[in-house]
Amino acid sequence: QKEVEQNSGPLSVPEGAIASLNCTYSDRGSQSFFWYRQYSGKSPELIMFIYSNGDKEDGRFTAQLNKASQYVSLLIRDSQPSDSATYLCAVFRPNSNSGYALNFGKGTSLLVTP
């Protein structure tokens, strides 16, 4: 079982709609969760992070965490064409053999159509 799983997409939503991106993880000891946005040919940039169960909102973005279901999601409200990118879910597992490194999913490609 892959440690961090995401649907590769592409997820296509019309401009102004809500985009919902999902991620599941396998290690129940995972402590912190991050969403990065990556434009084609560029490096990842941090969008949101969440540590506790529930919702965390920042502008048009909301991260949702459910540790019991091992599930984290990112909602993008009022989606814009500029949101078209690949969204990477990353998880920190404190007892892994990778120090403080993050484990990444393969990413979900989002396309916002005008």
Partner 1 sequence: DGGITQSPKYLFRKEGQNVTLSCEQNLNHDAMYWYRQDPGQGLRLIYYSQIVNDFQKGDIAEGYSVSREKKESFPLTVTSAQKNPTAFYLCASGDSPNSPLHFGNGTRLTVT
Q: Which residues of this chain interact with partner 1, rule CB under 8 A?
A: 4, 8, 31-32, 34, 41-46, 49, 51, 88, 90, 92, 94, 97-107
- Supply the minimum distance, in Å, between the C-beta of residue 21 and partner 1: 14
Pairing state between β 54-58 and 4-5: unpaired
**What's the token pair of residue 34?**
């991050």
Q: Within 10 Å of residue 3's Cβ, how many Cβ atoms?
A: 15
- Supply the minimum distance, in Å, between the C-beta of residue 43 and partner 1: 4
Q: Which is nearer to partner 1, 42 or 77 (CB)?
A: 42
- Placement of tokens 């939503």 in the chain: 13
- Supply the minimum distance, in Å, between the C-beta of residue 36 and partner 1: 8
Q: Which is nearer to partner 1, 19 or 23 (CB)?
A: 23
Q: Which is nearer to partner 1, 36 or 83 (CB)?
A: 36
- Supply the minimum distance, in Å, between the C-beta of residue 114 and partner 1: 25
